[in-house]
Amino acid sequence: MKFQELVAQISDGNCPIHIADNPEIVGVAPIDSAPPQTLSYVEGEAFAEFLELTTASAAILPENEVLQQRATQRGLAWVATSQPRLLFARAIAIFYQPYQPQLGIHATATISSQAQLGQQVYVGANAVILEDTLIGDNVCVYPNVVIYPGVTIGDGTILHANCTIHERTQIGNNCTIHSNSVIGSEGFGFVRTESGWWKMEQSGYVVLEDGVEVGAGSTIDRPAVGETRVGQNTKIDNLVQVGHGCQLGANCILVSQVGLAGGVTVGNDVTLAGQVGVANRVKIGDGAIASAKTGIHQNIAPHQVVSGYPAIENQLWLKASAIYKRLPELYQTLRKIKRQLEAIVSSPSSSKKE
């Protein structure tokens, strides 16, 4: 595909473009290892050095004249946009299509006679679908998936190999559950008694709204009562724990190893970076951001950016972090000042003045 044709498919037609010799593009690649006839991208001047070295034939650039001039001098074809990563994602979708299994039900799949399957459904080898389950149209159930009784799965949803969907789970349309994830497992509910721990049965529900994606090895627990809900178009990375009774809004991002304790409320458009931990029943406002490894024990206001453990304002955390690495130096300075003060207090001239 010629570069100009590709740009027409991935952009709105209003982006600045430098065609050069309008090269043939046969694929996409990272900027630092891109072979000829491929398209790559850079997001800012921090990656400018790669434009000097890359052997890609074309690049997607930010709206930055310095980068555009460098690309032109290298003889690269380029298109400039305020969202280079988005255009690159669209280009990937042109050159790569995920594996699509053939429709049908594998001979080794076990499907209850009381389960209802929609049209154009694929069920892979050794999958198990138990009674009172409702599967929508165009659903893909990969091998070894287990779907417990009473589950509802919406149209176009994909369940990857080895994931487990427990009872009292409702999954919306066009969701994706990746391998080894467990949706609707029992929340961690126990009551202390004189003789030990009494198990509190988890009779609630898990609801994933339309467009939710859950990464590999993640878990979303159902509560004792009520529901755990994940809002529309929220994306959950690998190895994330969503505790019982949590309420997540729409368009959130939870990056790998995030852990939410029970009853956490997360607003819309919230970003929780890797290994963020959130304590029981904390509320996080719309548009808030927590940087990696933040420990959140108190409510976070809408659009607040927090970092550190325990969480504080990001700008304050940056200042504190800069000071932290100087603590040995500051400690030695403090000891020196202390010795000087002690010498002044104990000197004879000081005693005479007293």
For position 352, what pLDDT does the model report?
A: 55
Residues annotated as part of the active site? 244
Q: What is the pLDDT of residues 325-342, one digit of tens each?
A: 899 999 999 999 999 998
Q: Is the pLDDT of residue 127 over 80?
A: yes
pLDDT, residue 20, reads 85
Domains and CATH numbers, the chain: 3-95 (3.40.1390.10), 104-315 (2.160.10.10)
Cα 257 off chain centre by: 10
pLDDT of residue 350: 57
Whole-number average pLDDT of the chain: 95
Give the pLDDT of residue 314. Answer: 97
Nearest alpha-carbon partner for 165 in 141, 142, 140, 148: 148
Over 90: is that where the pLDDT of 48 sits? no
The pLDDT tens digits of the residues spanning 52-101 come to 899 999 999 999 999 999 999 999 999 999 999 999 999 999 999 999 89
pLDDT on residue 198: 96
What confidence score (pLDDT) does residue 14 get? 86
Query: For residue 130, which amino acid is it?
Result: L
Q: Has residue 194 got a pLDDT over 80?
A: yes
Q: Which of 268, 272, 280 is nearest to 307 (CA)?
A: 272
- In this prediction the pTM is 0.91
pLDDT, greater one: 102 or 124 = 124
pLDDT value at position 349? 65
Q: Which helix (H) or strand (E) holds 77?
A: strand 77-80
Looking at the chain, the whole-number percentage of residues with pLDDT higher than 70 is 98
| Separation of alpha carbons 270 and 264, rounded Å | 13
Q: How confident is the model at residue 317 (pLDDT cuts 50, 70, 90)?
A: very high
> What confidence tens digit (pLDDT) does each residue in 283-306 have?
999 999 999 999 999 999 999 999
Beta strand 205-208 with 122-123 is unpaired
- Over 136-185, what HEC string results? CCCCEECCCCEECCCCEECCCCEECCCCEECCCEEECCCCEECCCCEEEE
pLDDT tens string 235-284: 999 999 999 999 999 999 999 999 999 999 999 999 999 999 999 999 99
The proportion of the chain whose per-residue pLDDT surpasses 90, expressed as a percent, equals: 90
Reported as a pLDDT band with limits 50, 70 and 90, residue 204 is very high
* pLDDT attached to residue 351: 54
The DSSP H or E segment spanning 31 is none
Distance of CA 141 to the CA centre of its chain: 23
For range 148-159, the mean pLDDT: 98
Instruction: State mean pLDDT over 316-321.
Output: 93
Beta bridge partners of 289: 271, 305
Average pLDDT over residues 17-31: 94
Confidence category of residue 178, pLDDT binned at 50, 70, 90: very high
